[in-house]
Amino acid sequence: MSLARFEAFASAANVFQRYTSAFRAQYCAYATSLWKDGGCRYSRVLTDRSCRSTPTCFTWRRWAASAAASRCIVDETAVDQGFQRGNAVPHGQPKIGEVQAHIVADSLHLEPLKNDLKSMGAKISMRDGLTLVEECSELGHKEGLVFIHKNGSIVLWDAATAAFAGYRKVMEQHVMIPLKLPKTVIEEFSETIDLVDGDRSRIVKGVLHLGKDHTIADKVAVSLAMMSAVQLNNVELAIRQKIVVSNAELDRLRQSMSRRNLDKLAERLFEYQTYAHHTRYWLNLEHDLLEIPDSLWEDDHLRALFRSTQAVFDMPPRLEKLNHRISWQLESLQSHSEFVRHKHSSRLEKIIILVITFELALGLTQALYKLV
């Protein structure tokens, strides 16, 4: 199968958010073709920018990875290197760890959470608006750093990744606004970046080269970027689901259009238009996912590290696509609204004609009655 043909299937799957058996077969075939002589031909993916711009959630890479892992990978080293977003650990540089980002809720009660962790003996401090946990032996966290944000996201570094299950249970006890999604879907929002040693902290082909003289500020910049990535995964799915549901509802009402449900259709259109405008505000102003945090503005290196980490997850093009979807949805709703207004006008015209006809008939009847 050609790469162009595969992209068409991938694009269709990203739009409709489902994978039929036919799509799965194509994914497996492509994943198998990527592997040769026990190694993955990453260059075939890396050289094609359009492949790298597919959304993070429910992306074809997850299917490609699972298919490749189950059919072609027999070397444990290759499995450890993984197939994350088409990026590989540089040859000759051993992986020293990884950074994991997860989302547990839409919002957290941060102060009670901090008090709960302190009661467990956690070593906690505040860093650039984040709760930094350096150690919590009761949760099995002895090494590595953990960053927790009030928006419900958590980033774990190195050995601390093994303690995620414990941290998640504690965070779930202090949820302010929950994610109304199955846990299996929420788990898909998680992101991972591999770590290797480097001369300075920077992102190279999706891998974090951690400088020997790195500071906590470097980890804060990467953590904030990864938190925005998992937040985008959640927002992206919510917007797409709402668009699919609203389109299905409009189709149903339009197909069964009658005088009785015309008002209902107009009401639904107003609700969806209001939601679309609110979503645009929510996406671009309230979340402001691409905005560089104030704590990073004074350091060019930290700003660059934040931006390059976001680029790993293709955040700018994905946000642009979401805004395009919202614009398209608003245009579609506007067209529906004009159609409904036309129907209302036609109905009013018919009512007026009927009233005039009735008045004329009544007048003629009275005139004839007087003549008689």
Residue 245 is given by DSSP the state: H
**Mean pLDDT lowest among 58-67, 175-184, 247-256, 293-302:** 58-67
Asked if residues 104 and 152 have their Cβ atoms less than 8 Å apart, the reply is yes
**Residue 169, pLDDT score:** 94
The mean per-residue pLDDT over the stretch 314-342 comes to: 84
Cα–Cα nearest to 238, from 296, 191, 293, 283: 283
Parallel, antiparallel, or unpaired for β 39-40 and 191-198? Answer: unpaired
Of residues 19 and 294, which shows the higher confidence score?
294
Give the model's confidence band at 91: pLDDT under 50 very low, under 70 low, under 90 confident, else very high.
Answer: low
234, 225, 235: which is closest to 313 by C-alpha? 225
Are 229 and 311 in contact, with CB atoms under 8 Å apart?
Answer: no
Strands 191-198 and 207-211: parallel
Let me know how long the chain is. Answer: 372
So what's the pLDDT on residue 135?
92
* Tokens matching residue 324: 């395009």
Distance CA 143, CA 134 (A): 7
3-class secondary structure, 291:
coil
Judge whether residue 54 has pLDDT over 80. no
Q: Report CA-CA distances (Å) from 226 to 33, 99, 102, 179, 316.
A: 30, 9, 9, 18, 14
What is the predicted pLDDT for the residue at 280? 83
DSSP state of 89: P
Q: Which of 54-68, 113-127, 185-199 has the lowest mean pLDDT?
A: 54-68
Cα–Cα distance for residue pair 81/89, rounded to 1 Å: 6
Measuring CA to CA, which residue among 23, 17, 90, 95 is closest to residue 54?
A: 17
Average pLDDT, the chain: 76
Whole-Å CA distances, 256 to 87, 246, 252, 265: 49, 16, 6, 10
Give 3-state DSSP helix, strand, coil % of the chain, rounded to 5: 60, 15, 25
